[in-house]
Chain A
Amino acid sequence: KQEVTQIPAALSVPEGENLVLNCSFTDSAIYNLQWFRQDPGKGLTSLLLIQSSQREQTSGRLNASLDKSSGRSTLYIAASQPGDSATYLCAVNTGNQFYFGTGTSLTVIP
């Protein structure tokens, strides 16, 4: 069974810092990987989707990379803002279903 791990579980940074969130998975046979943002009491908002053939995807201040062979993905957030405070989840698509990590809770301090 695919296992997805996100480290750290929580992260607190001052506003303006660049930061990296990590996602690792045990089975490299994936179709794609998706990063989500979850605000407290809310649903999941899709941020970026990387296909297995891609190395990275960018959207605004966000950049996600994928190294399928080593089972890792990173989400890079540039020039962090207080509005980026949320929980970030990654999910890997094995073709049978998506497997989710438990998330990294990010707090950006003004």
Chain B
Amino acid sequence: DAGITQSPRYKITETGRQVTLMCHQTWSHSYMFWYRQDLGHGLRLIYYSAAADITDKGEVPDGYVVSRSKTENFPLTLESATRSQTSVYFCASSESAWDRVYGYTFGSGTRLTVV
């Protein structure tokens, strides 16, 4: 199916464990983004990628690692999960930087709980 898919939809993990959230898009969009959504904070940018092998930090990057070896995939890794990383994580893509024409397209999100 065309679109942007995230997996898993739900994840419970323990403090200190490593966890990876997956994001896959089929449009060959150059730009991909990871956001977290928390009550009272709205969506905040964690990392973004302009192309394969090019990534950069957003507003709240601490505790997260990203990679982009292929254009269509943009995994987000929490190296040592903490309770403050309990959140809903959204992946998004766009055709160009901060797309000035088409805007963003979002995945359905991953709800992560760290216990």
Residues of chain A whose beta carbon lies under 8 Å from any beta carbon of chain B: 4, 31-32, 34, 36, 41-46, 49, 51, 89, 91, 93-98, 100-103
Q: Do B42 and A98 touch (CB < 8 A)?
A: no
Known: A100-B42, A101-B42. 17 other contacts (CB 8 A): A4-B42, A32-B100, A32-B103, A34-B104, A41-B109, A42-B108, A43-B106, A49-B102, A49-B103, A89-B43, A93-B103, A94-B98, A96-B98, A97-B45, A100-B43, A100-B44, A102-B41
Q: Which chain A positions have C-beta within 8 A of B59?
A: 97
The number of inter-chain residue pairs (CB within 8 angstroms) is: 59
Query: Which residue of chain B has the shortest Cβ distance to A97 in the bound complex?
Result: B45
Q: Which residues of B contact A41 (CB under 8 A)?
A: 109, 111
Contact in complex: A43, B108 (CB < 8 Å): yes
Whether the pair A98, B98 counts as a contact (CB closer than 8 A) is: yes
Closest Cβ–Cβ distance, residue A45 to chain B (whole Å): 8
In the complex, A94→B109 CA distance in Å? 24
- List B contacts of A4 (CB < 8 A): 42
B99 — which chain A residues lie within 8 A by C-beta?
93
B 89-105 binary contact with A (CB < 8 Å = 1; else 0): 01010000011111111
In the complex, whether B61 has a CB less than 8 A from a CB of chain A is no
